[in-house]
Structure formats: structure tokens, C-alpha cells
Chain A
Amino acid sequence: MAVRQTPVKKAWRSLGWLIALIVGLFALNLGGVLWAGGTWTPKLALDLEGGTQIILAPKLESGQEVKPEQLDQAVAIIRQRIDASGVSEAEINTQGGKNVVVSIPGTKIDDETRNRIESSAKLEFRPVIAATSSANTVVQPSESPSPTDAPDEESSDEPTGEPSSEPSSEPTPTVTPTDASDDAWITPALQDQFNAFDCKNIESSGANVAPTDEPLITCDVNGIEKYILGPVEVSGETISDASAGLIPNAQGATTNEWGVNLVFNAEGAKEFGKVTTRLYGLTDNKNRFAIVLDGSVISAPTTRAVITDGKAQISGNFTQQSAKVLADQLKFGALPIGFEVQSSETISATLGTSQLQSGLLAGILGLILVMIYTMFQYRALGSVTIASLVVAGIMTYLVITILSWREGYRLSLAGVAGLIVAIGFTADSFIIYFERVRDELREGRVIVSAVEAGWKRALKTVYAAKGTNLLAAIVLFIVAVGNVRGFALTLGITTIIDVIIVILFTHPMLQLLARTKFFGDGHPLSGLDPMAHGAVYRGAGEFRVIKEGKGKSALSSSKEAARRQTIAERKAAEAAELAAKGKK
């Protein structure tokens, strides 16, 4: 009996490993739930949970590519915008190396948030009414000189103290401002607000969504200077082009100084002309206009000339790099590349729930049908299939839950479909195995050895076949976007789990069951009944069950039929073989 003992031991050992694996996964998830914010259910994608998904695609000229760092920058900027609007739990990802996907769970987002995400950026020109250095940014790292903050100004931290006290001394709330630079905009309330304003809080102040026809308190992007700006006079959409270039001097020869050239369209040119005409006549800070991007001043140059042809130049202490950044910002808004909305999808929570339910319903129905069919085909052996599917199901659930916790994976409807489709693929490993065992029974083996021999052959096939499945899943996962990705992932996970289950569960179970009386003796209901499988053996000394009478139909049915050789045939075959060899 010692020989027989080994497979049993092996079987128990395999089952032990399986239990250890499942307990390990369970413990990992339990740890996650207890200490690291994990959950017992996988997170759901928007199509199942309800929410809004907006896909932004870069506007590219032909042949133009998106650089990864541009994309990262865009994601960071969009994230800031969403955070500023107070929406929590938003997920911003890149997709396929070029798209930005914004997913916001929950039923609906308000229009403001939507605009904030979809607008490539809000760029405005506002006149400066008052400016002062920000008291809150005493420490300014010296290693990062920032020429963009105030071109044409000698230095931005030059204290221009007057506005902070002066305007408040003449509270004129009742006077209607005559133009955008009028001090009348500064009411005492606005003055207090300005004095209390901390550049650190610019994100939460709502400066980036301020109404265009009211004054705005804000700071420059580095938090060095703070401003009271008049209403918007020229909006950013009127810029038709912006480029960085070397500034020519009065004689037209190029200098080493970098600047940004702006070109306005007709409407912008008219408006810009009006503004510069007024500002040119003003002094001090009121001579300046601010370029405001998403609520922050990126530059506040002085007005040196009246510009009516729509071609402006911003000079300052630019380097080639910083001039280019500003030009890009002016051209595309805050985002390094222009984006357009490729798709925007809102799924109500009701619809999400109903999709999830229908997915689960389809899964359960599919599982029941597979169970019925395998029971019908494989009798009691079918129960091994069902148990294997159940174990595979538990493992898959744990792995997906852990992935969702660790990697932020979200189960989508396509993912659910992948899981359901996988039921059939997984069950097929068992079918391959069982059919091989039956083949061995037909060869006349006893059940215990048929299980071992069938397993050896089946395992090779399972590896090869599952290998192709895994290959498909990996290729899909790498090249695919969005939904396809979720599907490929579930397909890959279930394929791997399938192989694990066949090795660590299905085979050991069969090894053990083959030693029970019910299966070992080949009970007609066991699905391993040697008689039912016509246990036939081509060699001598073994039993033959198939009646010779049936052989006739085989002979007549086709010449390809694998006829069992009679002694005469075998002799003839051997003779022919010898003859063939002789000819060589």
C-alpha cells in the first residue's frame, strides 16, 4: 500500500497549500479592512455605482505627440481645479498615454464643476487697481528666480505701500465706477477683504471662478504680490496666437532678451486697444494690467504703449524657458496642451444598481446552467466541477477585492462580463481533465491509475491552452483602453486562478475520490464507470467490453476508423514495416 499512499499524501499536501493560499488572501484582506482602509467588497466603476465620467482628449495637430510630463501636468492641474470645487473622491487618470479621464462618483455634478473640468483654462486680462507685496510670503526661495511674475517691473517685491491704506480712506460705496480701473470699485468691505487676504488660501478663495464683471482680489502665481483687479476687459479666448521670441530693439536688431509675443483676433485687438489707451495715461500700479489664469496672476506688466493692432509683446526678465511656458499658457490656458471633451457620461445610481443586479443575475443563471449541464454530463464527477467553480469564485472575489483596495481597481460592467464568461473557460479545464481520465479508463486502466495518467496528459494541454488565454489577456491589457482593460484583467486573473484550482483542488479531489468506494468501484452514477466507458484494451489479457458485432459498422463506416487490430493485421503491419525498412 505504500505506493498508493504517495498520491494521497500529495493530494492532501496540495489541498493544504490551497487552504493556506485562501487563508492568506483572506488574512491580507482582513488586515486591509482593519488597518488600511480596505473593504470586503470590491470598489465599483462608475457604470455600476453611478456618477459622471468625462474623458478629455488632447487637441493635437497631425504628427504631434503628447509627452508624458505634459499629461502629468495636465492631470495635476485638473486635480487642483476639482479639489478646489470641493468634490471629493474624484479620480483622475490618464488613458492610453494621451487621454485624461475624470471619474466622479455620485449622482450628479453641478455645472460649475463641470465647467471647471472641461474648460481648458480661464484666461482673462484685468486692469490692476491696487497691488501690494504679500505679507504672507516673507520667505522666498532665492534659488528659483521667477521672471514671469512681473515683467517690466523692476522687481515685484518692491513695496508699493500706498494702495493698502489709501483706498480705504476714501470709502465711496455709493459712487458707480466709471471704468474698470476706477478706485470706486474698492468698497470698504472689499478693502478689508483685501487686507485679510492670504495668498496661501488662493485655491479655496474661489478666485478662479470669480464673476467677470466684478473686481477680484488675488495674488500672482508665486504668492509674492497681491492685487485688487478691476473687471475683466479682455478675455483669453481672443488671443489667437502666442509665442516666445527674442525681442528686437529700437533699431530692429534682435537682442538677447526673451519676451512673449501675443496676437489678438479682431475683437481682442479692439478691446486691448481700448484698455491700453486708458492705462497708458494712468500711473503707478494703475498703469499695469494683469494676465489672470484660473484666478492667479501669471504676469502683470506695465503699459508702455497704446496697442491697437492686436500685437502685443510682454517683456521682462524672461529666460527662453520661462518665455515659452508663458506663451504656452497664454495659448492653451493653464494646461500644457489643449483638451477637448471626448465623451461625457452620467450614470444615475439607480441605473448603476440595476446594471450591477443584471450582471449578477446573469452570472448566477449562467453558473446554475453550467452546473446542471456538468451534472448531466459527468454525474457525481460534476460535483467536483461545481466545488472547483465555487473555490475559484471565492479566490477570484478575494483577489479582486484586494486589487481594488491596493491598486484602485474598479469593477465595471465589462469586468463583470469577463467574470461570467470565465465560468465557461474555467469549467473547460475540468472537462479536459475528466475527458482524459475517461480516455485512460477506455484504455482499460483502473480508476486510480487512470486519474494519475489522465492528469499527466491533461496538465500539459491545460498549460498550453491557458497560456494562449493568458497571452490574449496580457496583450489586451497592455494595448487596450478603459473598458477593455477591465475585461482583460478579469480574464487574466481568472485564467491564473483556474490553473491554480485545477492543480491544487480539482486534481487532489479526484485523487482522493478515486479511492472512495463510490468512485473507485466505478458506480454507474459516479461518472467514472469503466463499463460505461467501454473499457477496451488493445493488448492481450485485458477485458474487452465492446461486442465484436459492433465492429462491422466500424469497418464499413469508414476506412479511417481506428480499428482494433487483429493478430493477423498486426502481423501484416509488422511485415509491411519491415518491408518498408528493407526498401530504404
Chain B
Amino acid sequence: MTSRFARFGNALYTGERSLNFVGWGRFWLIVASLMMIASVLIPVFKGGFNFGIEFRGGSQFQVSEVQNAKQSVATDAVASVVPDMVAKVSVVGTDGVRIQTDQLSDDETKQIADALAVAYNVPAANVTHTFIGPTWGADVSRQAIQGLIVFLVLALVIMAFYFRTWKMSMAAILSLVHDLVVTAGVYALTGFEITPAALIGFLTILAYSLYDTVVVFDKIKENTAEEAVLLRHTFGESVNLAVNQTLVRSINTGVVAVLPVGTILFVGAYVLGADTLRDISLALLIGIILGTYSTIFIAAPLYAWFRQGEPEIRKHDAATLKARGAAVKV
């Protein structure tokens, strides 16, 4: 009745099976660097991000419970009021229509809302309209960036105290930066819209990515402290063992975190007006996957690499390898 996954966990725990994350650290760090460079270059070549209406400013209408969600109906309705206006019409779910235009005056907004209600044959209450000034999104993002910086600095300091080494703290923050940059890169590459809700998602990645790293680092700290007095493992090996021993946890946590986020994304993509849900969850989904990956493939090897050069660690590693050679001879 043993679950295969649990057996896999046992093997990882004892070291019977071991995936060599730290040994391949150099490779993974190069991959991470390349991904980050690509993430920075993509928006440069693609001409930036696809910002949502909250950042561009404009007017938006949503028509719900439509019988026949044809796009041309909306285009015609908008054109009947403001002939030159280019309307971006999208059908959401099965019975919702969303229309985005450039900024309109109050009068035009009202007329278009009425025209849409008539054109789609729905009660006026089913048409909602939103006007967003171009400064709103900028405001939100400025706050977000402030929050980001404050958080990074605080987290760096607090973790340095908790783990008693700033190298762990640095490794954790660097892998977090990687997650944020690559998530942004994914957004630039795919052209997903960046909205304030997506920003909320980005900020939550902070919490998740660091959280995930802290759990694994806690185990690394425990292992390396124990191993420092023994000559069983080199420093890198102890780090790697810790990563392996928490691998089942990492996978389970990743899956458990992704499941609800995935459901929000699924529901958000099919329901009109649930854009907030969709945008938050999309950013989070990418971030959680990256966060789980980066803890294992970036944060841990980075930490091992940071400390490799320390004299004490070198001495310990040399003694361990020597003892191992002796043991094999025996």
C-alpha cells in the first residue's frame, strides 16, 4: 500500500536516491542568468509590455447577459455615437462583452452605454461603464515598486539575522529577484496584459518565493550545522541532501499552492468581469512555479557557491574527501 511518492521521499531522505542540484549548480546558475538576460531583452525588442487600460487610461464598457455576443454589434453601437472611435471589443465567457475605447466624455459615455443596451437588447442595468484616468495605473505601480523595495530590504536584513549569515539571505533575495524578472519576461513574451491586479499577483510572488526558500534553507541550516562536526559530507553535499530531503515537501507545496490558483485562473478566464481574479492568478501561477523551481535550482546552489570559498568550509571539505578516500581504501 505504500505510495510510490512516499517511497521516493524515503529514498531521497536517506540519500539512497539523490538528485544532484548543487553539483550542477554552475549549469543552473548559467541557465538562470540567461533567462534573466532574455527577460530584460524581450521587452526591449518587443517594444515594452502590454499595459492594461488602467495604465493607458480610457473608457471601458461591460455588457452582461447578452443573448447574441457578436462583436460587430458593439462596434456599430460605438460608431453610432463617436464615429471615429476605435473600439476594442472582446467576448468574455458565453454571454459577456467588453468594449474598451479611448477616453470619452461623460455625455459620450452615457450615450454609448444606452446604445449598447439597445443594440444588445439588454436592460440598461446590464451595461456598466468605467473610466480610468491615465495616472491611476502609474499611481498603483509607483506604490507597488515602493513596496517591493521596502520589502526586499527588510527581508534581506531579517533573514540575515534569522539564518545568522547574510549569504543565505543574499541567495534567497537573488532567487526572488530572478522570479520577479522572469515573470515580467513571460509577460513581455506572451503579451499578457499588465493590470493592477497582475501587480498584486507580482507582489504576492514575493511572499511565496521567499517563503518557499525559507523552508528549504531552514533544513539546509539544520543539516550543515550537524554535518560541520562530522566528516560525512562536503558542504555542498549537505546542502544538496537538505534540498533532496525537502524535495517532496517542495513538490507537494507547489502543487497545493498551484491548485487553487489554477482554479481561479480557470474561473476568471471564463466569467465576465472577473478580470481581477484572472490577472492575479495568472501572475501567481507563473510566480509559484518559478518560486518552487528557483529555490531548488538557484537559491540552494547559489548559497553553496557563496560559501565554498570560506577557509573553514574548504578545510572541512578537504578532510571529508580525504576521509572518504581512506574509507574506500579500507
Residue count of chain A within 8 Å CB distance of chain B? 111
Q: Which residues of A contact B324 (CB under 8 A)?
A: 559
| B33 at the binding interface (Cβ < 8 Å) | no
A33 at the interface (CB under 8 A from B): no
Asked if A483 meets B147 with Cβ closer than 8 Å, knowing A532-B3, A561-B16, the reply is no
Encode contact with B along A121-149: 1 for CB under 8 Å, 0 otherwise.
00000000000000000000000000000
Pick the contact of B240 from A481, A524, A560 — CB < 8 Å? Answer: A560
Q: Which stretch of B37-45, B177-185, B186-194, B206-214 is in the interface?
A: B206-214
- A533: chain B residues at CB < 8 Å are 6, 9-10
Known: A341-B133, A560-B23. A367 touches B260 (CB 8 A): yes
Please tell me which stretch of A162-170, A308-316, A358-366 contacts chain B, meaning at least 4 of its Cβ atoms lie within 8 angstroms of it: A358-366
- Does A373 lie within 8 Å of B259, measured CB to CB? yes
A439 touches B2 (CB 8 A): no
Asked if A484 is at the interface (CB within 8 A of a chain B CB), the reply is yes
Q: Is the CB of A525 within 8 A of B1?
A: yes
Contact among B127, B158, B267 with A362 in the assembled complex (CB-CB below 8 Å): B267
Contacts of A554 in B (CB 8 A): 14-18
* A226 close to B (CB within 8 Å): no
Taking CB atoms, residues of chain B closer than 8 Å to A374 are 256
Q: How far is the CB of A175 from chain B (nearest CB, A)?
A: 37
CB contacts (< 8 Å) of B241 on chain A: these are 560, 562
Contact B263 A55 (CB under 8 A): no
In the complex, which residues of chain A have a beta carbon less than 8 angstroms from the beta carbon of B230?
Answer: 573
List of B residues within 8 angstroms of A361 by Cβ: 267
Q: Is the CB–CB distance between A351 and B257 below 8 Å?
A: no
State the Cβ distance, A552 to closest chain B Cβ, in Å. 10
Contact B132 A343 (CB under 8 A): yes
- CB pair B129 A346 closer than 8 Å: yes
State which residues 124-144 of B face A: CB under 8 Å: 125-133, 135-136, 139-140, 143-144
What does the 1/0 interface line of A293-330 toward B look like (CB < 8 Å)? 00000000000000000000000000000000000000
Would you call B236 and A358 a contact (CB within 8 A)?
no
B81 / chain A contacts, CB cutoff of 8 Å = none
Of A150-158, A209-217, A462-470, the one contacting chain B is: A462-470
Do B64 and A421 have beta carbons less than 8 Å apart? Answer: no
* A342, A343, A420, A432: residue with the most chain B Cβ atoms closer than 10 Å: A343
| Assembled-state Cα–Cα distance A358/B268 (Å) | 7
Among B223-277, those with CB < 8 Å from A are 230-234, 236-237, 240-241, 245-246, 248-249, 252-253, 255-264, 266-268, 271-274, 276-277
B125 & A471 in contact (Cβ 8 Å cutoff): no
Is the beta-carbon distance between B259 and A487 smaller than 8 angstroms? no
Residues of A near B139 (CB, < 8 A) are 57, 96, 99, 342, 481
With both chains docked as a complex, state the minimum distance between the C-beta of A389 and any C-beta of chain B, in angstroms. Answer: 10
B203 interface hit (Cβ, 8 Å): yes
Residues of A within 8 A of B257 (CB): 421, 424-425, 428
A57 engages B135 (CB within 8 Å) = yes
- In this complex, which of A478, A481, A576 has the most chain B Cβ atoms within 10 angstroms of its Cβ? A576
Interface segment among A12-20, A182-190, A564-572: the answer is A564-572
In the complex, chain A residues whose CB is within 8 Å of the CB of B150: 475, 479
Q: Kindly list chain B residues whose C-beta atoms are within 8 Å of the C-beta of A496.
A: none
Task: Give the chain B neighbours of A99 by CB distance below 8 A.
Answer: 139
Residue of A nearest to B246 (CB): A435
Produce 1/0 per residue, A438-457, CB < 8 A to B.
11001000000000000001
Give the complex CA separation of A579 and B162 in angstroms.
34
A469 to chain B, nearest CB (A): 5
Question: Which of B62, B222, B266 interacts with A351 by CB under 8 Å?
Answer: B62
Q: Are A491 and B125 in contact (CB under 8 A)?
A: no
Q: Enumerate chain B residues within 8 angstroms of A391, measured Cβ to Cβ.
A: none
Q: Are A358 and B256 interface neighbours, CB within 8 A? A: no
The verdict on B315 contacting chain A, using a C-beta distance below 8 Å, is yes
Chain B residues whose C-beta falls within 8 Å of the C-beta of A531 in the assembled complex: 2
Interface residue A534 (Cβ < 8 Å from any Cβ of B): yes
Answer yes or no: B31 CB below 8 A from chain A CBs.
Answer: no
Complex: how many Å from CA A233 to CA B249?
Answer: 76
Q: Does A536 contact B (CB under 8 A)?
A: yes
Contact across chains for A568 and B330 when beta carbons are under 8 A apart: yes
Query: Cβ of A344 < 8 Å from any Cβ of B?
Result: yes
Instruction: Determine whether the beta carbon of A487 is less than 8 Å from that of B256.
Output: no
A377 at the interface (CB under 8 A from B): yes
Q: Which residues of B contact A343 (CB under 8 A)?
A: 54, 130-133, 136
CA distance A57 to B246 in the complex (A): 49
Cβ-defined partner of B214 (8 Å) among A341, A465, A475: A465
* B126: A residues at CB distance < 8 A: 348, 350-351
Q: Give, as a whole number of angstroms, the nearest-CB distance from B219 to chain A.
A: 8
Cα of A439 to Cα of B218 in the assembled complex, Å: 15
| CB atoms of A362 and B22 under 8 A apart | no
- Most chain B CB within 10 A, of A342, A562, A569, is at A562
Shortest distance between the CB of A65 and any CB in chain B (Å): 15
- Chain B, residues 21-62, CB within 8 Å of chain A (1/0): the string is 011000000000000000000000000000000100000001
Q: B130 and A414: CB pair below 8 A? A: no
Cβ A435 vs Cβ B16 within 8 A: no
List B contacts of A428 (CB < 8 A): 211, 215, 253, 256-257
Residues of the B chain whose Cβ atoms lie less than 8 Å from the Cβ of A367: 260
A sample of 7 cross-chain residue pairs with beta-carbon separation below 8 angstroms, ordered by A number, consists of A111-B106, A347-B128, A354-B272, A417-B264, A525-B1, A560-B23, A572-B330
**A-B pairs with lowest CB-CB distance, top 3:** A562-B15, A366-B260, A576-B323
* A interface residues with partner B (beta carbon < 8 Å): 47, 55, 57, 96, 99, 107-108, 111, 114, 340-351, 354-355, 358-359, 361-363, 365-367, 369-370, 373-374, 376-377, 379, 412-414, 416-417, 420-421, 423-425, 427-428, 431-432, 435, 438-439, 442, 457, 460-461, 464-469, 471-473, 475-476, 478-484, 487, 491, 524-525, 529, 531-534, 536, 546, 550-551, 553-554, 557-565, 568-569, 571-573, 575-577, 579-580
Beyond known contacts A438-B6, A579-B322: 7 more, CB 8 A cutoff: A111-B106, A346-B130, A362-B260, A370-B256, A373-B255, A424-B257, A467-B162
| Residues of B bordering A, CB below 8 Å | 1-3, 5-7, 9-11, 13-18, 20, 22-23, 54, 62, 64-65, 106, 110, 125-133, 135-136, 139-140, 143-144, 146-147, 150-151, 154-155, 158-159, 162, 196-197, 199-200, 203-204, 206-208, 210-211, 214-215, 218-219, 222, 230-234, 236-237, 240-241, 245-246, 248-249, 252-253, 255-264, 266-268, 271-274, 276-277, 280-281, 284, 315, 319-320, 322-324, 326-327, 330
